[in-house]
Structure 1
Amino acid sequence: MESLSIVLEYDLNDIDMKVNSFEELVIWQKAIEIGVEIYNISDQSPLKNDYKSRDQLIGSAVSISNNIAEGFEYNNSVQFVKFLGYAKGSAGELRSQLALLVKVNRVSEEKYLILKEELIGLSRQIKALVTYLKTKKIK
């Protein structure tokens, strides 16, 4: 597992002084990258005409970055941990949706495997941050 310092690219002892906005968080940046890729996939055939699946897929992807941002903005580690849990859950939901869409030929196996690995990595990074926040009890 990656060390948490790699995940955040900061000295975690100074996280409260160094991280001034959620946009600085590597996990938020990665969630945005995944969201962009999901939008790109959603614009391609045959998924672009499957409106319900497309909306669910985009909703799950957007939820990851939004929950990271919302939790961070509370300026409270308890709330941040709670919303990081929601973000991690949305990453799992997105992986599940992609797995199904591969089976029904809406998403290519190649795209699925790439996104699956990215989402698993992101989930691990979120979990590492949650563990750190619970240990350090940052307010």
Structure 2
Amino acid sequence: MSLRQHQATLDVQTRGTGFVDVTAQVDGVVRDSGIDSGLATLFLQHTSAGLTIQENADPDVLRDLTTHLERLAPRDTALYRHTMEGPDDMPAHIRSTLTGVSLTIPVSDGRLALGTWQAVYVCEHRASPHRRRVVVHLLGE
């Protein structure tokens, strides 16, 4: 067999600070690609949001993560030099550095090889809603 590639871009609407589960959308790209075994690379094209794999069973996990990211990078303009885009911008950049903007996930049997309680999330670090873009690139057979 020869290696194949497939690429798609997902538009994700956020509601402001919090997490948006994009697992089904990414799995749809994998399914549509026809790739059975390989790697999925996800890349978020933004500097004030992030990507993470996290538990999908108990919503308190996501609430606690939001609370603790707020503690790590509070929305206090007295703490930052970069404040021109509002009090949530620099904290969002810091949170984006903590969560990261890319993931690599194995593909097995034509699906993301996630664990039982794992889901893929876009992490919105700004207070207001945004439209975020996730590039999904697949390489496999």
Q: Same fold (TM over 0.5)?
A: no
Which structure's residues are more often helix, by fraction? 1
Larger RCO: 1 or 2 (CA < 8 Å, sep 6+): 2
Q: What TM-score, normalized to structure 1?
A: 0.30
TM-score by length of 2: 0.29
